[in-house]
Structure 1
Amino acid sequence: MAKQKRTGGQVPKPAEEGSTLKDLLGEGTLDKLKNMSRTMKEEEEKKRVAALEQQRAEQKEREKNKSFSELLDESHLDWKKFK
């Protein structure tokens, strides 16, 4: 029982060499997809900026509400030297 050789799983070439997705889709459809992609990227950027602004506002609020002992604990100075 000899093993049979497998022929490579070659992908058949498309009937038309020039047929791409751009060619198959109409110009109007392609423009709609590009506009949708651009809009989604802009919305994502706006969300990212809004999230950063929210984080900054929350950090500022936390900083404003800290007690003296919390501020003293976070200080990098060695206050024992100044006694």
Structure 2
Amino acid sequence: MKKSKKSKDDQAVSLSDHLNSDLLEQLKSVKKNLTKEQEEKEAALEQQRIAERKQREKNKSFEELLNESSLTWKDFK
């Protein structure tokens, strides 16, 4: 068995060089769309977390609000 020596050109060949340019553009488009969808999902989740946090704040009892307050009666003597 002989080992074939690869030239520098063969080593530098990437996958994109072997793919059809239309297919490459299509794959890039799919990647871009998936990235955009992921960002939209993350933004929607963040908005949902904010809405839930606001709802919890809105539904707190007076006792919970009082316990979270940093004010003390000594400040108003």
TM category, shorter:
0.7 to 0.9
RMSD of aligned residue pairs (Cα, Å): 2.0
Selected match of 1:80 from 60, 73, 76:
73
Structure 2 stretches of 5 or more lacking a match? Answer: none
Separation in structure 1 between the aligned mates of residue 36 and residue 23 of structure 2, nearest angstrom? 20
Separation in structure 2 between the aligned mates of residue 29 and residue 14 of structure 1, nearest angstrom? 27
TM-score by length of 1: 0.74
Displacement over 4 Å in runs of 4+: none
Structure 2 letter corresponding to 1:39: N
* Aligned equivalent of 1:66: 60
Within the alignment, does 1:41 sit opposite 2:26 as a pair? no
Percent identity of paired positions between Structure 1 and Structure 2: 44
Report the CA distance between 1:19 and its aligned residue: 3.1
Q: Paired residues, what number?
A: 71
Structure 1 stretches of 5 or more lacking a match? Answer: 1-11
Q: Answer 1 or 2: which has greater helix percent.
A: 2
Separation in structure 2 between the aligned mates of residue 21 and residue 27 of structure 1, nearest angstrom? 11
* Aligned equivalent of 2:23: 29
TM-score by length of 2: 0.80
